[in-house]
Structure 1
């Protein structure tokens, strides 16, 4: 029992440290939220100049669309890009298609139609998928025509004024990348999509804004952002030795001296996974990839000339998925500690209550801050918070596997997140793209049984301080495990 106490309190202390950092980011957001980036006006021709003069001043932009088996959303993506408000002779579109199904034919037909309409668009179909998404972007960059590169994943629907709104940031020659905020097409499709939106909003409203406006390192999110081609090349290009090539390139570019800008007010809507296994595979990739990048680049960050505050924040940033491992340790130790240990000494009870309350409170403040900024209902957010914490507990097992694989250097393929095109039939459309049921689902259901046992013991022994956490843990693993089975 003593070992369980040590594990439980140690895990709670570590989670409190990450919670304190989350609170610091929230405070920085509040202090700096009005300090937006400098967005210069796009070139304007003199009043007496020919109409084409202003167009000639605009740079050529290459739009890269990395696609792999996206039959449900590929045409929507290409149509949205074709509607961009940018001169056609200044726009070069690359459909980087690694598909092995009929997506390739759909894209080929769509590209051919747009070429006949006068668009500079090409369909580049690879057969080998070497390097996965990073490999496709690398191959496309070698044939790109633009000095700037807009990258869009298949589930994004880019607004027509995107380039007009963002390109002005590049008036500063030191700016290498501009990122926009993700919005959500299907936020209210289910409890799962609402939870994802809540978590992503915290990242895009609080984390990205606080870091960008503090002059700290923040990253390109893989899509809905524009790169200066020169910055990509100077940083060493796209590399595919991690699962998060976007985070990897971002840190290499920042270490090379490039500046990034973040446009909080400019949103680019996208589709959230409505399938539990798709959600878990996406989270797995992000968690494992971030730890791979931490192993690869954290020594360079710590050895750089950056101020200690930037280095410390970068450590928290690159290891932000480590708390999933800590959470699983806490959950496994919490059951015997809270249910079997009996009454704890008063000093220990005070420490325990303080750490637990601080961790929960910082998470609540963080989420509420983001939702307030987006003018969303605070009451709906409050109701969703316990459910979110429960689901975070439920995915902690698969996320722990991702963290350990990232730390230990286990190699794995880039697994795409299936998209259904959003709508009533979205989940059915993605069924053909779902992978085989992973053994970890059985382990999640086993943990459901484990916590159910301790929930019964807690109910028998009495005390809300035992029953409530056990109920949350049990519900989390029950929901994640059963949804994984049903969505397989």
Structure 2
């Protein structure tokens, strides 16, 4: 009987992944519809442009803050209508770097706001800055971004429509070729910013402000209840509150905001933890009101998939762990082979997910042969590493769903936009090895043993899956140990 319990968990996890993939298929369909739309607004004269405040939330970013301020200072916009707030929560020499840097631009309206505490973390800084913001519109850039000087002129004209509450740009990648892990992050983010954001926006479903690289109408922020710090993803939270109030969001995939990708596993995990836990917290906060609201059924379905998408990591972890006794059951003849054959239906999930990443990444590469070759090796490696992150991310999701609170831990920035660079000299990255990293290493060994047993016993049904798990957990655990144990200056 216990064997069927594991088989039930295995099937339940597969069903959730199937639901997720079907939602992705819907987004892919609307992605093609979006591409036929012309999103560029009519040009607006300087006299007709509204006042804009750019907010730069910063906390201990000595490696990148000067680069950010320099980029924003070059923004093309009428000077008398532009205010730049540097929202500084720093406790190190970042503060002096900022003050020295902005003195180089006496003709630009910089406002330096330094808090003596981090109450509310990033949400608190944005909220405090908003009280003093003079602009009708508020653009936000995190410290690792290098916005284009045409950003405001391309995005602001959309706000001539009084229903528009937020316009989001697409993230670009300054250092995607720095390492394998930065390339895989770019691979994943491009799918989000191409298929997911475009697919949702094309059908007027809920989309989200991505925390940076976008512009808000100040009145929209205030009408939706302002920035709140009860979740780790204040951007997703405010996005859902605003759209439930009737504000419309717009996505501009043709406007690119370049940013730095975390180059090491400790920084990647820090970012992933915040995103996945915050997403789960927003699901608890908003899913019921969205499902009970007067939205079209398709909007509710995509909102549910959107808010619950981080839960995929719990499903992947359950699928991985339950596959061990299920494999044993098939090998011992305790589970009829017909059940395994029925599982072939779930190959549809893989096909859909592969198609999403294919069109997202190949469309950015103009469907070139080079892009195709890159995709063919990136997809299996990406899927393996994503499964390898399931322990870490499933813990984050569980904490979010269960209401366990944790502080906002920002992702260290490195200013590595070249192929080479000494990331170990960064004083911000974490040096303590979490317990989950040891569990990842154990699972890598377990699935490697299962691969050997499958080859030895000629039971190949789960060989590919277990092989990808062994590779994924192995890569994640080894990269984690390397980054957590690295000594500055090494």
Whether the TM-score (by the shorter chain) exceeds 0.5 is yes
Match for residue 73 of structure 1 among 53, 64, 78? 64
Aligned position for 1:462: 458
In the TM superposition, what are the counterparts of 1:43-122 in structure 2 within 5 Å?
Answer: 43=45, 55-114=46-105, 116=106, 118-122=107-111
In the alignment, does 2:104 pair up with 1:132?
no
Q: CA deviation at 1:426?
A: 5.2
Deviates more, 1:264-273 or 1:27-36: 27-36
Aligned residues: 474
Deviates more, 1:240-249 or 1:304-313: 304-313
Q: CA deviation at 1:340?
A: 4.9
Q: Contact 1:294–1:319 at 8 Å: present in 2 too?
A: yes
Q: Contact 2:267–2:429 at 8 Å: present in 1 too?
A: no
Q: C-alpha deviations, 1:238-277, integer Å up to 9, x for none?
A: 0000000000000111011110110011111111100101
Whole-Å Cα distance in 2 between the matches of residues 233 and 77 of structure 1?
27
Whole-Å Cα distance in 2 between the matches of residues 449 and 375 of structure 1?
37
The secondary structure found in structure 1 opposite 2:103 is helix
Match for residue 399 of structure 2 among 395, 405, 415? 405
Match for residue 451 of structure 1 among 447, 451, 459? 447
Q: C-alpha deviations, 1:105-146, integer Å up to 9, x for none?
A: 1011112222x2x11102111121000000000010001010
Q: C-alpha deviations, 1:366-390, integer Å up to 9, x for none?
A: 0001012202601211211111111
Aligned in 2, Cα 1:432/1:260: closer, same or farther, shift over 3 Å? closer
Q: CA deviation at 1:429?
A: 4.1
Whole-Å Cα distance in 1 between the matches of residues 34 and 249 of structure 2?
16
Q: Contact 1:420–1:428 at 8 Å: present in 2 too?
A: no
Whole-Å Cα distance in 2 between the matches of residues 197 and 470 of structure 1?
25
Whole-Å Cα distance in 1 between the matches of residues 214 and 254 of structure 2?
14
Aligned position for 1:15: 17
Whole-Å Cα distance in 2 between the matches of residues 31 and 64 of structure 1?
33
Q: CA deviation at 1:442?
A: 1.3
In the TM superposition, what are the counterparts of 1:304-323 in structure 2 within 5 Å?
Answer: 304-323=293-312
Whole-Å Cα distance in 2 between the matches of residues 57 and 337 of structure 1?
66
In the TM superposition, what are the counterparts of 1:23-422 in structure 2 within 5 Å?
Answer: 23-37=25-39, 39-43=41-45, 55-114=46-105, 116=106, 118-342=107-331, 345=336, 347-355=338-346, 357-375=347-365, 377-422=371-416
Aligned position for 1:51: none
Q: Which residues of structure 1 form unaligned runs of 5+?
A: 44-54
Q: Contact 1:419–1:426 at 8 Å: present in 2 too?
A: no
Aligned in 2, Cα 1:325/1:484: closer, same or farther, shift over 3 Å? same
Q: C-alpha deviations, 1:36-87, integer Å up to 9, x for none?
A: 33612112xxxxxxxxxxx343211100000111111000000000000112
Q: Contact 1:95–1:123 at 8 Å: present in 2 too?
A: yes
Whole-Å Cα distance in 2 between the matches of residues 95 and 362 of structure 1?
43
Aligned in 2, Cα 1:90/1:429: closer, same or farther, shift over 3 Å? farther
Q: CA deviation at 1:462?
A: 2.0
What TM-score do you get using the length of structure 1 for normalisation?
Answer: 0.94
Q: What is the alpha-carbon root mean square deviation over aligned residues?
A: 1.4
Q: Contact 2:33–2:202 at 8 Å: present in 1 too?
A: no
Q: CA deviation at 1:100?
A: 1.1
Whole-Å Cα distance in 2 between the matches of residues 429 and 176 of structure 1?
41
In the alignment, does 2:480 pair up with 1:484?
yes
Whole-Å Cα distance in 2 between the matches of residues 62 and 485 of structure 1?
42
Whole-Å Cα distance in 2 between the matches of residues 411 and 86 of structure 1?
41
Whole-Å Cα distance in 2 between the matches of residues 402 and 69 of structure 1?
24
What TM-score do you get using the length of structure 2 for normalisation?
Answer: 0.94
Q: Contact 1:74–1:107 at 8 Å: present in 2 too?
A: yes
Q: CA deviation at 1:425?
A: 2.1
Aligned position for 2:487: none
Deviates more, 1:290-299 or 1:325-334: 290-299
Whole-Å Cα distance in 1 between the matches of residues 283 and 4 of structure 2?
33
Match for residue 425 of structure 1 among 421, 427, 439? 421
Whole-Å Cα distance in 1 between the matches of residues 191 and 428 of structure 2?
32
Whole-Å Cα distance in 2 between the matches of residues 464 and 379 of structure 1?
27
The secondary structure found in structure 1 opposite 2:365 is coil
Q: CA deviation at 1:435?
A: 4.8
Whole-Å Cα distance in 2 between the matches of residues 154 and 249 of structure 1?
20
Whole-Å Cα distance in 2 between the matches of residues 77 and 419 of structure 1?
12
Q: Contact 1:458–1:467 at 8 Å: present in 2 too?
A: yes
Q: C-alpha deviations, 1:288-325, integer Å up to 9, x for none?
A: 10111111111221222111111111111001111100
The secondary structure found in structure 2 opposite 1:216 is coil
Q: CA deviation at 1:180?
A: 0.4
Q: Which residues of structure 2 form unaligned runs of 5+?
A: 485-490
The secondary structure found in structure 2 opposite 1:321 is helix
Whole-Å Cα distance in 2 between the matches of residues 32 and 69 of structure 1?
39
